[in-house]
Amino acid sequence: MLKKLLQFNWFTFLSMVALTVIGVIFIKSAGEARTVASLQDAWRLHAATALFGLILYFTLSFFDYRKILDLGSTPYFLISVILLVAVLAFGDKVYGGKRWLLFFQPSEVAKLAVILMVAKVFGRKRPTNTFLDLLHGLGLLALPALLILAEPDLGTALVLVPAILVMLLCARVCLRVLIPVLAACLLAAGAVLAAVHVAETTNNPQTKATIYRFLPLKEHQRARLRTFLNPEADPYGGGWNLRQAKISIGSGSLTGKGIGKGEQKFLGYLPPSVSMNDFIFCVLAEETGFVGASVVLALFGVLLLSGLWTALRCPDDRGRLTVIGILTLVFAHVYVNIAMSIGLMPITGLPLPFISAGKTFLVVLLAAFGIIQSVSLHREEES
């Protein structure tokens, strides 16, 4: 038992708990600017969800991760795919997208499923470095990603890509193909941005029409890219959210305005519909300043690096890949969420892990870190 306590990754656990508590505090703070009672009390629900998630966390960490992968990952993956199909068929339409099935978002559930599935497939002892293996891995990514894209939820679909690609890279799956393909993808992304830039700055409507005939981007996606490329062009239209996010964060200065005293959220400049979800970092940075924002970044640093420590200590590929996949997903969320609110990336609707209000994502995250804890606790047992 004492040995278990020593093997328990306290850094990951405590930083995770700290981030969740911070989440509860700032969901409460963002809720104070709202007039609807259910939103004012959203923090209670977040806290209750976190407690439920912690039960799941300890339950999963109690079991050997190998068993979880062997027995659980395939059914979990299949159920996720079924749920993703179901949400397209029966989901509630909210803000023009079908993302909700009853009380949860299947796309969040599916994120972990893909990671576990890929970890199981490529963590096997036999070699997995053929082109067919690569196709297998990409197929596991593409099936749920395309279903999520159909909701449509571009952000969630895209955020899976780096996690799975990093797992495939680490598992050295057919690197001779994977690396050139990755390079090509990066080039293509750059080319798309450049094309949008040309299309939006040209004075020739024909050029614009030609470019968009070959670029199947929806108008709101074009608008976001346009805003990202030139945020000053339209400060009251597409640039509004970014401008307000930057004013929130910037006016927080070094030490902030005090928890619960954020002017931007109270005055409604920070759009209330997103202040406790995708833009909660703005509330946090305004109220606690650079100091608070740095503390949060440091906690994420501890969470991610201590998680990687677990991966490093883990003697098998399955454990390492699982941990790497989960941590890369979390890192992608953190990076994209914060970067978009300071204009380093286009505005994308991605939550900040543990802090943004979002019950499904929180439960999935706690479950995922339960599995990381399981890797930490059970790494020396016989497989």
Partner 1 sequence: MKVSRWSILALAALFALGLAELALELHHVQVVDVAAFKADLAQQATRRMRKPGIRGRILDAKGGVLAESRARRDIVCDLSTFLKSGRLANTVTAVDDAITRLADALGFDRPASLTTERISRHMRTQSAVPLCVWRDLDETSLARFEERAASFPGFSVEAHAERIYPRGTFAAHLVGYTGRDRGTEDTDDVRMLAYELEMKGRAGLEAFYDDYLAGVAGAVRIPVDARGFKPRGAARDNIALGEMEERAAQDGLDLELTIDPDLQAIVEKQLVGVRGACVALDPRDGAVLALASAPTFNPNDFVPFVSAKRYRELSEDPDHPLLNRATAGLYAPGSTFKPVTALAAFRAGINPQDEYECTGVYKLGDMRLHCWNRWGQGPMDLHHAIEQSCNPYFARLGYLMGTNTLFRTAREFGFEAKTGIDYAPERSGSLVTPPFYPGLACQSAIGQGRLQVTPLQMAVECATLANGGKVFTPFLKKRADGSPPPEPVRTLTFKAEEIEYVRNGMRAVVEGLKGTGKAIGGLKVSCAGKTGTAQIGGGGKDTWIIAFAPYENPTIAVAMVVERGDSGGKTVAPRVHAILASIFGEKEE
One residue of 171, 174, 276, 371 binding partner 1 per CB under 8 A: 171
**CA gap 81, 271 in Å, rounded:** 33
Stretch that binds partner 1, among 107-115, 143-151, 325-333, 374-382 (CB under 8 A): 325-333
**CA gap 106, 88 in Å, rounded:** 10
Residue environment code for 135-147, b if the CB has 16+ CB neighbours within 10 A, otherwise e: ebbbebbbbbbeb
Residue recorded with tokens 């005939």 = 213
Q: Between 196 and 334, name the residue whose CB sits nearer to partner 1.
A: 334
Stretch that binds partner 1, among 4-12, 97-105, 200-208, 314-322 (CB under 8 A): 314-322
Q: Is residue 57 involved in binding partner 1 (CB under 8 A)?
A: no
Q: In the bound complex, what is the minimum distance in angstroms from residue 203's beta carbon to partner 1?
A: 29
The strand pairing partners of 16, in sequence order, are none
Dihedral sign, Cα of residue 185, residue 191, residue 194, residue 200: negative
Residue pair 270/279 in contact by the 8 Å Cβ criterion:
yes
Peptide bond into 152 cis (omega under 30): yes
**CA gap 368, 355 in Å, rounded:** 16
Which residues inside 263-282 make contact with partner 1, applying CB under 8 A? Answer: 263-264, 266-269
Q: Is residue 61 involved in binding partner 1 (CB under 8 A)?
A: no
Q: Is residue 297 involved in binding partner 1 (CB under 8 A)?
A: yes
**CA gap 128, 175 in Å, rounded:** 11
One residue of 33, 147, 148, 225 binding partner 1 per CB under 8 A: 33
Q: In the bound complex, what is the minimum distance in angstroms from residue 12's beta carbon to partner 1?
A: 13
**CA gap 364, 112 in Å, rounded:** 7
From residue 331 to residue 350, what is the string marking binding to partner 1 with x (rule CB under 8 A)?
x--xx--xx--x-x------
What residues make contact with partner 1 under the rule CB under 8 A? 32-33, 35, 122, 128, 166, 169-172, 243, 246-247, 249-254, 257, 260-261, 263-264, 266-269, 285, 289-290, 293-294, 297, 300-301, 304-305, 308, 311-312, 315-317, 320-321, 324, 327-328, 331, 334-335, 338-339, 342, 344
